[in-house]
Chain A
Amino acid sequence: GNSVTQMEGPVTLSEEAFLTINCTYTATGYPSLFWYVQYPGEGLQLLLKATKADDKGSNKGFEATYRKETTSFHLEKGSVQVSDSAVYFCARGDTGGGNKLTFGTGTQLKVEL
């Protein structure tokens, strides 16, 4: 079926550490891929996206590359800050032409001083 799998959390890192959150997907066709972030008590914010193979999405120091051969879209950041503490969701778009997003389970990130 069409699904998104992301690494289990919580992930705890020290400030300035390197971050990787793994995400893989299954889909028929070529879906757009997204990373969303959710801060406590808030809705989701789009962090970055990629719409085709080998595209790299980037924003606020975060990056993810659309890898068709491994069906992956791993999120990376070279140096995390305490303010990056949040829940991160990987999502895939709807290849059928609609706006439906299929989300992973979310990965909680906690960054400590």
Chain B
Amino acid sequence: KAGVTQTPRYLIKTRGQQVTLSCSPISGHRSVSWYQQTPGQGLQFLFEYFSETQRNKGNFPGRFSGRQFSNSRSEMNVSTLELGDSALYLCASSLEQGQGYEQYFGPGTRLTVT
């Protein structure tokens, strides 16, 4: 079974631009979560989707948004990029919603904002 895939793997954008990142969960998984990883702040939760609905949101500004499609694939969007948005963005999928379900992470998208 294929793992979690994220596209693109690397991205360079300019301040003020917007970006869309994509995540395809493991087949059959219905929950997708997004995390931002930076050297300074570590791993921070962005949001979680289940059955096309956002179930939980982390403490990030409204410039960060996401959605989930009927096939469970998810996208996240960052508008008006800032230098501080440079990070590794990780997507994780799990079979269902609930802390007992194991989450599987993709390789991440490395975003650099210049």
Contacts and interface: CB of A to CB of B under 8 A. Distances in A.
Nearest to A93: B99
Contacts of B103: 46, 99, 101
Interface residues of B, number: 27
Contact of B42 (A41, A42, A45, A103): A103
A31 B99 CA distance: 7
B105 A43 contact: yes
B106 interface: yes
Interface string B16-33: 000000000000000101
Interface residues of A, number: 26
Contacts of B90: 43-44
Interface class of chain A by DSSP: loop
Contact of A105 (B42, B97, B99): B42
B42 A99 contact: no
B64 interface: no
Interface of A: 31-32, 36, 41-46, 49, 51, 89, 93-106
12 contacts: A32-B99, A41-B107, A43-B105, A93-B100, A97-B97, A97-B98, A99-B56, A101-B33, A101-B45, A102-B45, A103-B43, A106-B42
